[in-house]
Amino acid sequence: MADTVIDSGIDTGVETVVQDPKDWGMLIGGEWVEAAAGERIEVITPIDRNQVIATVPRARDADADRAVDAARRAFPAWAELSFPERARTLLKAADLLEEATEELSQLTAVDTGNAIRTQARPESTMLIGAFRYFAGLAGEVKGVTLPTASDQLQYTRRQPLGVVAAILPWNSPLMIVAFKLPALLVAGNTAVVKAAEDAPLSVLRMAELISEVLPPGVLNVVTGYGAEIGEALVVHEDVDKVSFTGSTAVGAGVGAKAGGRLAHYSLELGGKSPCIVYPDSCTDEVVEQVLLATRFARQSQSCTTGSRLFLHEAIHDEFLDKLVQRVAQLRVGDPRDEESDIGCIINAKQWQRVQGYIEDGLAQQGAGVAYDGRGSLTADDPGFYHAPMILTGVENNWRIAREEIFGPVLSVIRWSDEDEVVRMANDSHYGLAAFVFCQDLGAALRTAHRIDSGWVQVNQGGGQQVGQSYGGMKQSGVGREFSLEGMLEGFTQVKQINVRL
């Protein structure tokens, strides 16, 4: 294959090599195919709105039929494999991905705008780690035996669900596919992965790499719009489970449709996560962790962003000063550049949406600006660059404190009483993540236990660990898939067998 140098038009001295041809197919039944209707979608890079870096097929109903049929045909043999064989295949897939770590990371940077050092590379390594972790769990897909009388044998078997449609968002495609694919495969299911229309390339390349070791049809990848191929998969009668990650609005419809036909489904949705700092935690170390929680290094395009920062009034000003000084050091720049801390927002629509929230926040009485790094970055820039913004004096009932912005806008809220801050933290229709910073571990854990979120971190702000339980409460989601228990609950079903001996 020839290589093409992608030039973003931004003079950073960085070039990325992306594979040619730029016209990708979809992986169905081990073949790279066009959409049945022959239509294609252009993929632009967020680094440069004028640059089409690839085209992908625009799949519709007929393509859902083909992909689901391929996954169905591959299912019996894959499910029938002994568990060590499935484990071996996943380990080989991990090795292939590891050899291509750098390529996948570069492609992620170009595809999503996520900065290579702070985000894109960790996403690739998370994917590799997840394949290895779930390979090691292959033997855990097992049943139990009841201690019955000697003339009875009563036992259970854990069986795969069948064909899983995995629907992905654009913000961190390799990380989200890592949350789903290794777990569903090791449990014996086959997959139709639907890549996000805004960032499909890293997932297609991942599929190209690991299809070398996966039997044809075990992994299929389709591309196109949510309302077309996404919906076609959700309503497809031969899809046994829909594993969806995306917005709460779309997820509610996906759950209703999949549930309406009594298919299994899981939903990983949005968040408006609280980050609570106690008066004993006004240190540089905590500032670093809070910075991680803001997900500024990911343009805050993360479902687990700690976007509501609750600062105790005793340390409010001092902590904010420290945070602002640190944020001012972050470099917004070409996501392919190792020096960049922050890359680009995914597209023009999302960039404008973030402006709308900023305007709305600033229009509220009492709103202040602790940091506005936007400076010379404007809507006219060819890339969708956006520096962080920290708003103070925010009330928990303002729109910017209630809705998911999915952009680098942090709302700072003052608190004085533990009950009050827990009430405010929980006063949200979301319940995905939360962060508690407190040196008194008793108080920290007391608060952690009272917060209605699926994932609470104490005294740290980083991302998910391979194997941890992950999922939302309230309108942040339904179901778990990423841990051992999540894999068992999310991707298997139990059969009881009672035998009279």
Report residue 166 as tokens. Answer: 């995995």
Look at residue 306 and give its three-state secondary structure: coil
Which residues of 119-229 form beta strands (DSSP E)? 152-160, 163-167, 190-194, 219-222
Q: How far is the CB of 466 from ligand NAD (least distance, A)?
A: 14
**Helices 83-99 and 121-136: angle between axes, nearest 10 degrees:** 160
Q: Whose CA is closest to 491, among 221, 246, 159?
A: 159
- The residue behind tokens 């105790």 is 312
Report residue 65 as tokens. Answer: 């039929």
Q: Whose CA is closest to 181, among 485, 481, 497?
A: 481
* Cα–Cα separations (whole angstroms), residue 447 to 276, 278, 279, 397, 422: 9, 11, 14, 21, 7
Residue nearest to ligand NAD (CB): 226
- Measured from the CB atom, the residue of 202 and 392 that comes closer to ligand NAD is 202
Q: How far is the CB of 192 from ligand NAD (least distance, A)?
A: 12
Q: How far is the CB of 57 from ligand NAD (least distance, A)?
A: 14
- Measured from the CB atom, the residue of 86 and 480 that comes closer to ligand NAD is 480
Q: How far is the CB of 317 from ligand NAD (least distance, A)?
A: 31
- Measured from the CB atom, the residue of 46 and 271 that comes closer to ligand NAD is 271
- Measured from the CB atom, the residue of 132 and 236 that comes closer to ligand NAD is 236
- Measured from the CB atom, the residue of 211 and 453 that comes closer to ligand NAD is 453
Q: Whose CA is closest to 301, among 227, 259, 371, 353?
A: 353
Q: Whose CA is closest to 471, among 274, 266, 290?
A: 266
Q: How far is the CB of 477 from ligand NAD (least distance, A)?
A: 6
Determine how many CB atoms are found less than 10 A away from the CB of residue 448.
18
Verify whether residue 228 is a known catalytic residue.
Answer: no
Degrees (nearest 5) of the Cα angle 301, 489, 482?
30
In the set 197, 268, 404, 481, the catalytic residue is 268
How many Cα atoms within 13 Å fall on the side-chain side of residue 430?
Answer: 26
Q: How far is the CB of 244 from ligand NAD (least distance, A)?
A: 7
* Cα–Cα separations (whole angstroms), residue 100 to 105, 259, 358: 9, 38, 39
Strands 409-415 and 389-392: parallel
Strands 274-277 and 433-437: parallel
- Measured from the CB atom, the residue of 173 and 333 that comes closer to ligand NAD is 173
Site residues, ligand NAD (CB under 6 A): 167-171, 176, 194, 196-197, 225-227, 230-231, 234, 245-247, 250, 253-254, 268-271, 303, 404, 406, 432, 472, 477
Q: How far is the CB of 89 from ligand NAD (least distance, A)?
A: 26
Q: How far is the CB of 226 from ligand NAD (least distance, A)?
A: 2
Sheet containing 409-415: order of strands: 368-372, 389-392, 409-415, 308-312, 274-277, 433-437, 455-458
Q: CB of 164 within 8 A of CB of 191?
A: yes
- Measured from the CB atom, the residue of 110 and 286 that comes closer to ligand NAD is 110
- Measured from the CB atom, the residue of 1 and 262 that comes closer to ligand NAD is 262
Determine how many CB atoms are found less than 10 A away from the CB of residue 324.
16
Degrees (nearest 5) of the Cα angle 474, 480, 481?
150
Instruction: Report the catalytic residues.
Output: 268
